[in-house]
Amino acid sequence: MSPEAGTAANRLGVLGWPVAHSRSPAMNNAALVELGLDGWRYQHLPVPPEAFAETVRALGAAGFRGANVTIPHKEAALALADEASERARAIGAANTLTFLPDGRIDADNTDAPGFVAALPRPPGAGERALVLGAGGSARAVVWALAQAGVRVRVWNRTPARAERLAAQLGAAAVERGDEMGEADLLVNCTAVGLRSASNSFKELPLRAEEMRRYATVVDLVYRPDGTELIRAAARVGCRTVDGLEILVRQGALSLEAWTGLPAPLERMRQAARSRGATASNEPARPSPPTLGGLDAAAGRGGPGA
């Protein structure tokens, strides 16, 4: 059953630290208008790790129906939830929280199906993938690929984290660039490229001229002019998927869960790709909303990101 505009629980948001760069508010507010949910609002919720649990537990009483979760909170989101989908538990991370009328918090993970939906074609059994990173997003990507029978290798700057993720999700950890080899799919799940458009290859175990090793290159990071990784891959003829398409796909699934209505994918895509979708192209670390100041953080003006 779809909710009625104007009900008490009509607030949505995205939790992260930093989160000012996120285009989720612009994308979701455009979708809410398209759906005719005039009383609804989606906002940034900048929350540092030390305030995450306390802030999230207060959101339901403040009129929130749901929240997306981004870096660095996805594993913490699953840990504090009262209920979780089998998918979120298997992945070990959540990007979608729903605040239930009885005060309980439900966790799900739409990163995994959103990632698969954004690919040029579904991944196939026996294919090879290299995943960079070992955080919550990487866990979703590795799980989704492993479920499809893909042979996955995982790299992380901290090798122990890659080894732990690989052992838990049925992948193999690699440490050095010469262990990477060719692959059908390369997926960057690190934050490299978020703050700078030109330092990616200094921080990743890859060189720009090696991009032709990969048939498809996916970067979960998004920038207005594309990330250095995506640009390098496109120059050598790789198929590419940027973070905005993945943002749209996973966000649509979250929105449908909260509203009970089909998400307007094309309108969300247009809003996410609009040059005015963020107030700044560089992420910032704003002051987190206090528990008593959630209304002040609602962003009564434009969505701003």
Catalytic residue from among 74, 153, 249, 269: 74
Amino acid letter for position 144: A
The closest alpha carbon to 165, from 219, 76, 91, 111, belongs to: 91
Strands 11-16 and 41-46 turn out to be parallel
How many whole angstroms separate alpha carbon 113 and alpha carbon 128?
19
Task: Name the 3-class secondary structure at 87.
Answer: helix
How many whole angstroms separate alpha carbon 304 and alpha carbon 278?
5
Cα three-residue angle 79-84-90, rounded to 5 degrees: 80
Can you state the percent helix, strand and coil of the chain, rounding each to 5?
Answer: 40, 20, 40
Query: Is 74 part of the annotated catalytic residue set?
Result: yes
Instruction: Give the alpha-carbon dihedral of 229, 243, 20, 251, to 10 degrees.
Output: -170
290: how many CB neighbours lie within 10 A of its CB?
Answer: 12
Catalytic positions are: 74
